[in-house]
Amino acid sequence: MTHQHTSDPHHFETRAIHAGNTADPLTGAVVPPIYQVSTYKQDGVGGLRGGYEYSRSANPTRTALEENLAALEGGRRGLAFASGLAAEDCLLRTLLAPGDHVVIPNDAYGGTFRLFAKVVSRWGVDFSVADTSDPAAVQAALTPRTKAIWVETPSNPLLNITDIAQLAGIARSAGVRLVVDNTFASPYLQQPLALGADVVVHSTTKYMGGHSDVVGGALIVDDAELADELAYHQNAMGAVAGPFDAWLVLRGIKTLAVRMDRHSENATRITEMLTSHPRVSKVLYPGLPEHPGHEVAAKQMKAFGGMISFQVKDGEEAAVAVCDRAKLFTLGESLGGVESLIEHPGRMTHASAAGSALEVPSDLVRLSVGIESADDLLADLQQALG
């Protein structure tokens, strides 16, 4: 098994299709088979074929995905997990010990916040909430016990933008690690390791898988020592991606570049409609020139992605009604699939942040804009807004 891909000379679109996807040595199958197996015949005691001994430790389908993930994020090593939160849990238990402290964003994925607030905190790990789009606020939140700064950009669901390169500078001078949750952008739109981050986190459930048919997570790092520590914990804790789930993510990634282009184009057309709609008070999308993070997003992202949030003029009940009336936009949690989704974060994805510093506005609606016809999507939203 090799995990070295920092030298892959190909462009992103090519790496997405070919990295890790070598033809099956036995049959020549051009797609890596689903190695639905737990254990491997040894050629004499300890005589492992290709390093495989037990599928929690390594499985060839998962290896294919992990090599692909490393190549796409430009890291030395990728690790695939059963979910995004399983990846986060492995990362936190690898990096932190009781007494340590983490700076987390005031606008994080609800499940990430819950992991810190309800789970990790019980093990003596402390955290502070900061507006990570404001470098001074992050600097002020650092303590001598801080081990990591956690960033989500664009953030969920407020689409705030954090300057990754700037925070990497702050993290480096403080001697702490910068973790970037790159789920919303995907490596096609944004490359955190190249901007100075130490760890990239993904919920591969979202854009990487891209078809709303799998739950998965990933960590990608370039530091060899950290890679080994994470791989050790991945095996020791065991929340790995199963072979079929790994295969589905690997399959989804092949079209990531074309999908992200279309998600971004469709989202741009929808924001044009929403910004001039009389029932919409505010549109949150980093592609809009008036978005406070627009310049940073334009600098660190290739396009602005498929996620849009907006506030409805008449308040919470009106926002809920828009979600209920949408037809083509399916009412549901999650995001990043080819089909468009709509949701009310306050009552759905971010309900667990109610009453905390991460509570979201009650009149907020979040869209995951799919890759259907933009005309059909616009018509559906217009009828839903009434």
Ligand X SMILES: *Cc1c(COP(=O)(O)O)cnc(C)c1O
Active site residues: 56, 109, 181, 206
Q: Least distance in Å: CB of 193 to ligand X? A: 17
Q: Is 84 in the site for ligand X (CB under 6 A)?
A: yes
Q: Quick one: which of 35, 109, 116, 285 contacts ligand X (CB under 6 A)?
A: 109
Whose tokens are 């997003």? That residue is 297
Distance (Å, whole) CA 272 – CA 278: 13
CA 294 to chain centre: 20
3-state secondary structure at position 101: strand
79-87, 94-102, 128-136, 299-307 -> range binding ligand X (CB under 6 A): 79-87
Q: Say how far apart CA 31 and CA 281 lie, in whole Å.
A: 48
Question: Site for ligand X (CB under 6 A): how many residues?
Answer: 16
DSSP secondary structure code for residue 24 in this structure: P
Task: Identify which of 114, 59, 98 has the alpha carbon closest to the alpha carbon of residue 81.
Answer: 59
Peptide bond into 154 cis (omega under 30): yes
Q: Which of 19, 69, 71, 85 binds ligand X (CB under 6 A)?
A: 85
Question: Which residue lies nearer to ligand X by CB, 195 or 273?
Answer: 195
Please report, as residue ranges, which positions from 200 to 219 form the binding site for ligand X (by CB under 6 A): 203, 205-206, 215, 217
- Strand order, beta sheet including 199-203: 77-81, 217-221, 199-203, 177-181, 146-152, 101-105, 126-130
Q: Output the smallest distance, CB 152 to ligand X, in A.
A: 6
Nearer to ligand X, 184 or 329 (CB): 184
| Identity of the residue, 96 or 201, whose beta carbon is nearer to ligand X in the bound complex | 201
Mapped onto helix, strand or coil, the DSSP state of residue 190 is coil
Closer Cβ to ligand X, 74 or 84, answer by number: 84
Stretch that binds ligand X, among 14-22, 52-60, 91-99, 104-112 (CB under 6 A): 104-112
Instruction: State which of residues 55, 83, 160, 266 lies at the interface with ligand X (CB under 6 A).
Output: 83
For ligand X, which is the closer residue by CB, 68 or 186?
Answer: 186
* Closest-approach residue to ligand X (CB): 84
Is 183 among the residues that bind ligand X (CB under 6 A)? yes
CA pair distance 35, 44, nearest whole angstrom: 22
State which of residues 112, 132, 271, 309 lies at the interface with ligand X (CB under 6 A): 112
Give the three-class secondary structure for 113: helix
Which tokens in the block code for residue 384? 């839903």
In whole angstroms, the minimum distance from the beta carbon of 182 to ligand X comes to 9
Q: What single-letter DSSP state applies at residue 343?
A: E
Q: What's the min distance (Å) between Cβ of 279 and ligand X? A: 27
Q: CA-CA distance, 150 to 201, in Å (whole number)?
A: 10
According to DSSP, the β-strands at 364-368 and 307-312 are antiparallel
Element (H or E) spanning 250, and its range?
A: helix 243-253
Sign of CA dihedral 39, 43, 47, 51: negative
Q: How far is the CB of 277 from ligand X (least distance, A)?
A: 26
Query: CA-CA distance, 29 to 212, in Å (whole number)?
Result: 26
Site string for ligand X, 144-173 (x = CB under 6 A): --------x---x-----------------
What lies within 8 Å, CB to CB, of 267 at 6+ separation is 285, 287, 304, 305, 306, 307, 308, 367, 369
The stretch among 106-114, 223-231, 246-254, 293-301 that binds ligand X (CB under 6 A) is 106-114
Nearer to ligand X, 211 or 269 (CB): 211
Minimum distance, C-beta of residue 203 to ligand X, in the bound complex (Å)? 3
Nearer to ligand X, 15 or 206 (CB): 206
Q: Which is nearer to ligand X, 33 or 111 (CB)?
A: 111
What is the three-class DSSP state of 179? strand
Report, in Å, the least distance between residue 147 CB and ligand X: 20
- Kindly list the residues in this chain that would bind ligand X in the complex (CB under 6 A): 83-85, 109, 111-112, 152, 156, 181, 183-184, 203, 205-206, 215, 217
